[in-house]
Amino acid sequence: MTKRKPPDISQEAWDAVDSPPLTDEMLRSLRPIAETDPDLVAAYRRYRGQQKAPTKQMVTLRLDPDVVEAFRATGTGWQRRMNDALRKAAGL
C-alpha cells in the first residue's frame, strides 16, 4: 500500500509525523490508559456519550450562514437552543 500525501503538506512536515513501526519490546511495554492516567479517563467519562435509545431524529438542513453563526456564537449547547427556537416557531 502506498502512502498518498495531501498536496498542501510539505514533505518535511509529513516526515516529522511519520512514526516508525512499534517493536515487540515497545508493544510489551504498553499499558492501558486507565493504568497510566486514571484522572484523564475519569474526566473523559464525565461527558455524556451516545443515546441508548435516540429520542431525536438526525436530519440535514440548509440554513443561512449568519443564522448558524449566531447560534454557534452562543457557545456550548447551541444546537439545543436552535431546536428550542424551532419548536417555539412551530408552536410546539
Q: Is residue 12 part of a domain?
A: no
Q: Is residue 73 part of a domain?
A: yes
Q: How many domains does the chain have?
A: 1
- Position 88 pLDDT exceeds 90: yes
- Position 71 pLDDT exceeds 90: yes
Q: Is residue 9 part of a domain?
A: no
Q: Is residue 13 part of a domain?
A: no
Q: Report the alpha-carbon distance of residue 92 to residue 85 in Å, rounded.
A: 10
| pLDDT digit string, tens, across residues 11-58 | 888 788 878 888 999 999 999 999 999 998 888 877 767 777 778 888
Q: Is residue 69 part of a domain?
A: yes
- Position 91 pLDDT exceeds 90: yes
Q: Is residue 71 part of a domain?
A: yes
Residue 67 lies in domain: 20-49+59-90
Q: Who's near 40: CB < 8 A, 6+ residues apart?
A: 33
> At 1, is the pLDDT very low, low, confident or very high (cuts 50, 70, 90)?
low
Q: Report the alpha-carbon distance of residue 51 to residue 35 in Å, rounded.
A: 27
DSSP track, 57-77? --------HHHHHHHHTT-TT
Q: Is residue 72 part of a domain?
A: yes
Q: Is residue 68 part of a domain?
A: yes
> At 90, is the pLDDT very low, low, confident or very high (cuts 50, 70, 90)?
very high
CB 72 within 8 A of CB 78: yes
